[in-house]
Amino acid sequence: MIENTLYLKALAGQSVPRPPVWMMRQAGRYLPSYLELQKKYDFFTRCETPELVAEITCLPIDEIGPDAAILFSDILVIPRALGWHIEMKPGVGPVLDNPITSKEQALAVTKADALEKLQYVMQGIRATNERLNGRVPLIGFSGAPWTLLCYMIEGRGSKDFAAAKAFCYEHPEAADHLLSVLADVIIDYLNAQIEAGVHAVQVFDSWAGLLGPDDFNLFCMPHLKRITEEVKGAPVVLFAKGAWYALERLAWRTSAAAISIDWTVSPEYARKATRREATLQGNYDPSRLLSPVPVIRNQVKRMIDRFGKDRYIVNLGHGILPNIPVDHARAFVDAVKSYETS
């Protein structure tokens, strides 16, 4: 039994006294308690050790008090399960060895035993739920096919993922095969997370905004739609960062329970584009958490006023930054919690 059900009620479209609040990447690098664990264990050890996953996932619940926990993991666990070696390099980010450079490489990718190799995630979910003890819902997640393809072809992060885009234009059949295999793995993976005990799942298409509307329809939309239709047993939230032009399509042509938006979209536009009938999540600029605490409080109240308290989940427009003071993150959460009496 979940004690705090605000998040789940918002996803279901039910009226709430105030909107729920959580923050993307809330279990991570801005918390001193997390940084201590970072000194002791490398990144993928933290992701693959159930006890560490549970501890890290619960840190913000204990210290900040959001209305939902998001599992500590990474979107790149799927490429790892497909056989790519990934190194997290300081100051660089993830680096994948042997990026895909030919259509033959792409066509050779199969889902094989990927889900079996991801069972440590399910163990982490069970350990986390035991530690949460029903205080708040637990959110699972995955990267989206397009975003994972970008990393698998580019081999690392990029401002434009030009190599990945060029590959898709030059080898459309191979790109479609790779996207379809990734969608297969993601569906299996998210369904396994739900079976293991998460209460909702979110799909992160972090690089969707690099595409124009036509290419979004080609490389993202069919797979996101399929994922929302074939993942069963829990609500699915879609976050196509930067793809403001696709809000209506995502809300009405997929089976998503909610659409998450970044800070480049106004509440008024988002509500209009989704016909004021979809649950929305977001869209506070993470950098704004560097503002003075009184400013954060005022901005959060105004944001909720503009979205409305129902069918809305307060969140950042992307992950919390590592240089955000913990007191400012707490002020963000507390501002939402005090909304019902403000």
Contact 315, 67 (CB under 8 A): no
> What CA–CA distance (Å, rounded) separates 80 from 94?
11
Task: Specify the range with the lowest mean pLDDT, choosing from 76-80, 157-161, 181-185.
Answer: 157-161
Residue pLDDT, tens place only, 146-168: 999 999 999 999 999 999 999 99
Burial class (CB in 10 A: 0-12, 13-18, 19+), 109: buried
Sort strands 312-316 and 200-205 into parallel, antiparallel or unpaired: unpaired
DSSP letters, 179-220, are HHHHHHHHHHHHHHHHHHT-SEEEEEETTGGGS-HHHHHHHT
Q: Is the pLDDT of residue 51 over 70?
A: yes
> What CA–CA distance (Å, rounded) separates 286 from 263?
9
pLDDT at 41: 97
pLDDT at 234: 98
Tokens found for residue 70: 């998001």
Contact 139, 200 (CB under 8 A): yes
Could you confirm whether domain 6-341 is CATH 3.20.20.140? no
Residue pLDDT, tens place only, 325-339: 999 999 999 999 999
> What CA–CA distance (Å, rounded) separates 83 from 191?
21
Q: Is the pLDDT of residue 342 over 90?
A: no
Reported as a pLDDT band with limits 50, 70 and 90, residue 118 is very high
> What CA–CA distance (Å, rounded) separates 55 from 46?
10
Residue pLDDT, tens place only, 218-254: 999 999 999 999 999 999 999 999 999 999 999 999 9
pLDDT at 216: 98
Reported as a pLDDT band with limits 50, 70 and 90, residue 340 is confident
Q: Is the pLDDT of residue 309 over 60?
A: yes
Residue pLDDT, tens place only, 269-293: 999 999 999 999 999 999 999 999 9
Residue pLDDT, tens place only, 200-211: 999 999 999 999
Q: Is the pLDDT of residue 297 over 70?
A: yes
- What residues does each domain of the chain span? 6-341
Reported as a pLDDT band with limits 50, 70 and 90, residue 102 is very high
Burial class (CB in 10 A: 0-12, 13-18, 19+), 268: exposed
Q: What is the pTM of this model?
A: 0.97
pLDDT at 261: 98
- Tell me the residue ranges of DSSP E strands in the chain: 69-70, 86-89, 93-96, 138-143, 200-205, 236-240, 258-260, 279-284, 312-316
pLDDT at 92: 86
Annotated binding-site ranges: 25-29, 44, 74, 151, 206, 318
Q: Is the pLDDT of residue 306 over 80?
A: yes
Annotated binding-site ranges for substrate: 25-29, 44, 74, 151, 206, 318
pLDDT at 291: 98
Q: Is the pLDDT of residue 182 over 70?
A: yes
pLDDT at 122: 98
- Sign, CA torsion 64/120/318/247: negative
Helices (H), 28-117: 32-40, 43-48, 50-63, 77-81, 103-107, 114-117
Contact 285, 251 (CB under 8 A): no
Torsions phi, psi for 199 (to 5 deg) = -100, -10
